[in-house]
Amino acid sequence: MKRSLVLWAIALLLTLGSAVWQRLSGPTHPIRVRESVAGQEITGRLLRSQTVGAGVPISLQAGAGLVGEVRWRRWPGDHPWQTVGLRRAGDRLVGELPAQTMKAARIEYSVEITDGLGSTITRSARLRFKGAVPGVVLAVHVAAMFLGMLLSLRTGLEALTRGPRLAPLVAATLICLGGGGLLLGPVVQKYAFDAYWTGWPVGEDLTDNKLAVAVLAWGVAAWQLRRGRRWWVVLASLITFAIFVIPHSLHGSTHDWETGRHIQAEARSRSPMA
């Protein structure tokens, strides 16, 4: 019993760590702003994800005497820049970029804050719009993926320590990753970005691709375990952990403003705003 609890604890800590890293390093996590102009501090966050039909709020804490504006345009493509002014609201400069109605539509924007005397800071970001996903569907998907990662690590540890409960753990891992991810994941993506699958061979979405690789690895591990080759389970666990360290939503689908179709625009741009 003690051995099992220790292994579960190790698996849980590694899962929580990878989940936090994936969240903080992903391209949808807000960009933190902490700058200063003329000795006055500017703090806040720039959003990189928003629901279709909702405006994009800009709100930065900025000292009195500072003014600002936001330049934005549709992305990708050579679209004209538009400007939205920031207004003073107490100790903050606030504004809002217009809502977009197309799923997977992206914009890029730059916030400029100045003291009016030549001192200026500029911070930039890209943002993707997503459709609303039903809460129950999203909750089940997220729970299944978290549990799948936890089970993957715990199963790998069971194989590594030659534990007795390997077969049921392998089956549970495959069910969570396959059912909650490979089957339910496309449903979530359809709600959010109007496409069931944007990974190989139709696209380059790393979220789709890495999930497919993980499920394949566990399918092979389950087959090899029937032949007594438990080291394949360790390998599948390591592959899955490496995959989950990759930030979520990299190379996701993007609405093409010219054609109205989805493209993999991120793969063609290395701008720091991506």
Which pLDDT tens digits describe the chain residue by residue (274 residues)? 688 899 999 999 999 998 888 888 888 899 999 999 888 899 999 999 999 999 999 999 998 889 999 999 999 999 999 999 999 999 999 999 999 999 999 999 999 999 887 788 999 999 999 999 999 999 999 999 999 999 999 999 999 999 999 999 999 999 999 988 888 989 999 999 988 887 777 667 777 888 899 999 999 999 999 999 999 999 999 999 998 888 776 667 888 888 877 776 444 443 444 4
Q: What confidence score (pLDDT) does residue 69 get?
A: 96
All domains in the chain, ordered by first residue:
2-26+133-268 (no CATH), 31-130 (2.60.40.10)
Spatial contact of 252 and 266, defined as CB atoms under 8 Å apart? yes
DSSP-H helix ranges across the chain: 2-25, 135-160, 166-175, 184-193, 206-225, 231-245
pTM recorded for the entire structure: 0.85
Give CA torsion, residues 161, 166, 169, 173, to 10 deg. Answer: 80
Number of H helices, E strands in the chain: 6, 12
Could you give the CA distance from residue 4 to residue 12 in angstroms, rounded to a whole number? 12
Could you give the CA distance from residue 194 to residue 259 in angstroms, rounded to a whole number? 15
Tokens encoding 199: 């990974």
Q: What confidence score (pLDDT) does residue 190 get?
A: 92
Q: What confidence score (pLDDT) does residue 267 get?
A: 41
Name the percent of the chain in helix, strand, coil, to the closest 5.
45, 25, 30
